Structure 1
Amino acid sequence: MEMFEGWIEQAPDLIVVYGTKVILAIVIFIIGRWIAKAVAGGVKKVLTARGLDITVVGFVGNIVSALITVITLIAVLGQLGVQTASLVAVIGAAGLAVGLALQGSLSNFASGVLLVAFRPCKAGDYIEAAGVAGVVEEISIFSTTLVTPDNKRIVAPNSAVMDGVIVNYSAKDTRRIDMTIGVSYDADLLVAREAIVAVIAANEQVLKAPEPTVEVVALADSSVNFVVRPWVKTADYWAVHFALTRDIKLALDKAGIGIPYPQMDLHVQSVPVAEPQLQAVATGSEAS
C-alpha cells in the first residue's frame, strides 16, 4: 500500500519528465517526416527538371525519404531514452549484409541512374552496347531493354551497358554511307566515276551538303577501288545504302565497266621426259 502511495506521489513528476520526452519525440517525428517529404519532393523536382526517367526520379525520391525517416526514428528513440548506439550498429550491420547480397543489383541501379543522367542513349535510339545491337525500348532501374531489327527483345543489365562502349547510331541527324566499289584494271576510270556520280545525283535522299565523295582509294590486287561516301539522313541510311548498291551495279553494267571478283587462273605446263626415262619405259614394255 505504501508503495502504491509512493507511485501516486511520484506520478506528477513522472508525467512531467516522461510526458515531455514523449511530446518532444512526437514533435521530432513530425518535423522529421515533414523534412523527409520536403527534401524528397525537392530532389524529384530537380531530377525531373533535368529530364530524368520518371521511374528513376520516383525511386531516388523514395530512397531519400526513407533515409531521412530512419534518421528521424533513431532521433525519436534517443529522445525516449533508448540506447541508440547498439541499434545503429545493428542497422549498419544489416545494411552491410543487404548491400553485399544485392551488390549486383545496386551496381545496375547506379548504372541506370548514370545512363539517364548523362543520356548516352534514350528510348528510340539504335545503339550497340553490351555485345548486342537494337533500338532502345526502355531504360529501367536495373536493366535496359533493346529490340533487334528482327524483332527480338533483349534485356541487358545496366552495368553491362554502362561499363562498355556505347555506339549510338541515332545520336546525329545525318550519317555517312561508306562504300567501296571495285572496277577492272581495264576499265576507263573516268567513265566509271561519272557513272557512280550520276547514280548518287539521281537519288533524292542523298544530301547535297556535305558533298558526296567519289574517288579512287586503292589499287588492289585485282581491282581499282573507288571509295563512295554520300551523306544521308540517319533514318534513310539503309534504304539509300541498298538502293545505291543496286543502282551502281546496274550503271556500271550499262557503261560496260567490269566489276572483278575473286578468281584463280590455272596454267598447265608440260614437262619433257628425259631420254634415260624413255628407254627405261620402253625396256619395261618389252619385258612385259
Structure 2
Amino acid sequence: MNGATARKPASASAVSSGWKLQAVSGNPCRHSTSGPLPASRQARSRPLARIQCGVNAGDIMSASICCGRPYTSGPLASRKARPMIKQRLTELVQEPEKLVDLTWPYLLQLALALAIFFIGKRLAAWLVQLVRAAMRRAHVDDTLGDFLGNVLFGLAMTVVVLSSLHQLGIDTTSAAAVLGGAALAIGLSLQQQLSSLAAGVILIIFRPFNKGDVVEIGAGIKGVIEEIKIVHTRLRSFDNREVMVPNASITANTITNYTTRGTRRIDLVISISYGADLLRAKRVLLEIAGADPRVLKAPAPTVAVKDLSPNALDLSMLSWVKTADYDAVRADQLEAIKLRFERDGIPLPSSSMEVTLKQPPASSGASA
C-alpha cells in the first residue's frame, strides 16, 4: 500500500450505532479536522454524546452538539442540515420512548426543584409563625414582631429559591453575587430610610412613648401619638393636623412626654403692683387654688414671692393636677385670678413710662 496503513472498514454495528459509538471511542465530530479530542474533553463530552448522539452517522446536528459548537457554525448553518433536523424530530415523535429517555432527566430535575420550592415555602411560613408566637409570649410589640417575621420569611425564601435554581443546574454563585451587589446598592441609596428603620426598632423596643401620649419632639413638634410604625411615627397636633415624623428625627432630638406621669404641676407667675396688699393677694390666690376640686390636696397648693422686678412684685402660684386636667385648670385659674383681683381691688401692674419735661431757665435779656 506504499507505506500507507489500510483503514479497516466499519462494521455494521458501528454504522448502526452512529455517533454514539464514535463519541465513546474517539472524536464524535466527522467534520472536525483537529484530530481526536483530548482525554479531558472526551470525558466531558461522553454523557452528552450518549444522550444526544444516538442517531445515524450523518446526523450533523447531534455531532455539532457533542462538540459543543453552536448551531450556526459549520454545516449546520447550511440549508442541507434543515431536512436532517426535521427528520430527527419526526423520528422522535414517531418513537416516544426515545423522547422520554431524552426528557426524563430534565423532568426529574424540574420536579425536584418545584418540590424544594413549595416545601421550603411551607417550612419558612411555619418558622415565621413559631417566631411570632414566641414574641407574643415574651410580650414583644406586634409591630416589631411582624417586621422581624417578614424579614425572616424573606431570608428563608431567598435560600429556598437559590436551592431550587441550583437543583435546575443554574449556577447560583453568580446569582448570589448579583443579589449582594443589589443589596449594597439599595443600602447606599436608602441610607436615611434604613436609619429611620433602625430608629423604629429602637423606639418599639424601649418605648419612650405609647399611643395616645402627648409628646413634644425637639422644640417645635407637639401632639398626640396616633401610630408608631417601623419607619415613621404619626402624630395628631392640637389643631387636628396629622404630622408624620421620621423615626430617625425622633431619636436624634429630645423627647418630652407629658403623659408618662399621672400628675403635673401648674406654675403661674402673678405680678401685682408694689402698692397692693401682699398678704391679701397671697390669701386670694390660695383660695382660688383650693376652691377648684380638680386641684390635688397633696401636694398642697403654695403661693410665694418669686421676684422683685423693677415695675411689679412677682408671685409664684403652684398647684398639682391630673395630667388630663392640666390645660383646663390652668385656663380657669388665670380667669379666676383676673376677676377676683378686680373685685377685691388688688391692682395689677401695667406697662407705663413716666416722661418728665424740664423747662429751661429764661434768659436775662428776655426778662428785661
TM range (shorter): 0.7 to 0.9
| 2: CA distance, partners of 1:21 / 1:193 | 92
| 2: CA distance, partners of 1:157 / 1:183 | 46
SS class of match (1:181): strand
CA drift at 1:28: 5.8
Letter in 2 for 1:64: L
- Bigger Rg, structure 1 or 2: 2
1:135 to 224, 227, 234: 224
Alignment of 1:238-257 (within 5 A): 238-257=327-346
Equivalent in the alignment of 1:7: 51
CA drift at 1:196: 0.4
Equivalent in the alignment of 2:201: 113
| 2: CA distance, partners of 1:34 / 1:213 | 67
| 2: CA distance, partners of 1:36 / 1:51 | 21
Residue 92 (structure 1) aligned with residue 183 (structure 2): no
Residue 271 (structure 1) aligned with residue 360 (structure 2): yes
Fraction of identical pairs, as percent:
37
CA drift at 1:103: 2.5
Equivalent in the alignment of 2:38: none
Equivalent in the alignment of 1:202: 291
Letter in 1 for 2:152: V
TM-superposition CA deviations, 1:15-54 (whole Å, max 9, x none): 9999998888677656644553344223323444435244
CA drift at 1:96: 1.1
Equivalent in the alignment of 2:149: 61
CA drift at 1:142: 2.6
CA drift at 1:117: 2.0
Residue 177 (structure 1) aligned with residue 260 (structure 2): no
CA drift at 1:4: 5.8
CA drift at 1:210: 1.6
1:41 to 118, 126, 129: 129
Relative to structure 1, is the Cα distance of residues 31 and 210 closer, same or farther in structure 2, using a 3 angstrom cutoff? Answer: farther
Equivalent in the alignment of 2:6: none
What 5-or-longer segments of structure 1 have no aligned partner? 283-288
Which has the higher relative contact order, 1 or 2, with Cα contacts under 8 A spaced 6 or more apart? 1
TM-score (norm 2): 0.65
Partners of 1:177 and 1:241 within 8 A in 2:
yes
Partners of 1:139 and 1:145 within 8 A in 2:
yes
**Aligned length in residues:** 278
RMSD between aligned residues: 3.3
| 1: CA distance, partners of 2:302 / 2:231 | 44
| 2: CA distance, partners of 1:110 / 1:127 | 21
TM-superposition CA deviations, 1:128-177 (whole Å, max 9, x none): 12532111122233322222111122222222222211111112111111
TM-superposition CA deviations, 1:173-197 (whole Å, max 9, x none): 1111111011111222211111100
Letter in 2 for 1:151: N
Equivalent in the alignment of 2:161: 73
SS class of match (1:240): helix
CA drift at 1:121: 1.6
| 1: CA distance, partners of 2:134 / 2:195 | 23
| 2: CA distance, partners of 1:211 / 1:217 | 18
What 5-or-longer segments of structure 2 have no aligned partner? 1-16, 22-49, 55-97
Partners of 1:192 and 1:255 within 8 A in 2:
no
